[in-house]
Structure 1
Amino acid sequence: MFGKCWTGAYCRYFREAVLPLDPALEAALLIEGPRPDFKACPVCGRAVAPDGRQTYCSAACAKAAHRRQQREYMRKKRG
């Protein structure tokens, strides 16, 4: 409570530490208008903002998915 910011509806800790970790919650609370439809990341299941062709929530998830796809491809190629 010592770091409470009395100028807004949410405390500073919530805005700086909790909201960046959950983009779906951040969009639901801070963006006005209709709620955007979020997709689930196929690797970890976290929410992915609908920004065009973005499929994964982070570069680490994209790298893990690429490695898995390459592993499956090489397994099929070997026979």
Structure 2
Amino acid sequence: MKTILLALSVSATIFGLGSSAMAMSNPASDFCAKMGGRSVSAKLSSGDEIGLCYLTKNKIVEEWTLFRMFDGKVPAKSKNPFLAK
């Protein structure tokens, strides 16, 4: 019985059960910052929340849309449609 309790205790420690959850960053918000933007949360009339990325020249893009547009990779300046011209 002690062996089972010890195994459960070790498992709980390994998998983080019983401890405070680690905060994970949002990849789309991180990508917004890499693109030189500022991440802002907006609440829709439905009550849902979305992340918006404010880029240069007042260009605003939904964060996950921006992330998917470039497959999570910052484009070369010549291929970035959001840079000021």
Q: Which band: TM-score by shorter chain?
A: under 0.3
Query: Which gives a bigger RCO, structure 1 or 2 (Cα 8 Å, sep 6+)?
Result: 2
Specify which structure has the higher proportion of helix: 1
**TM-score calculated relative to the size of structure 2:** 0.22
Q: Larger % of strand: which?
A: 2
The TM-score, its normalising length taken from structure 1, stands at 0.23
Name the larger-Rg structure: 2
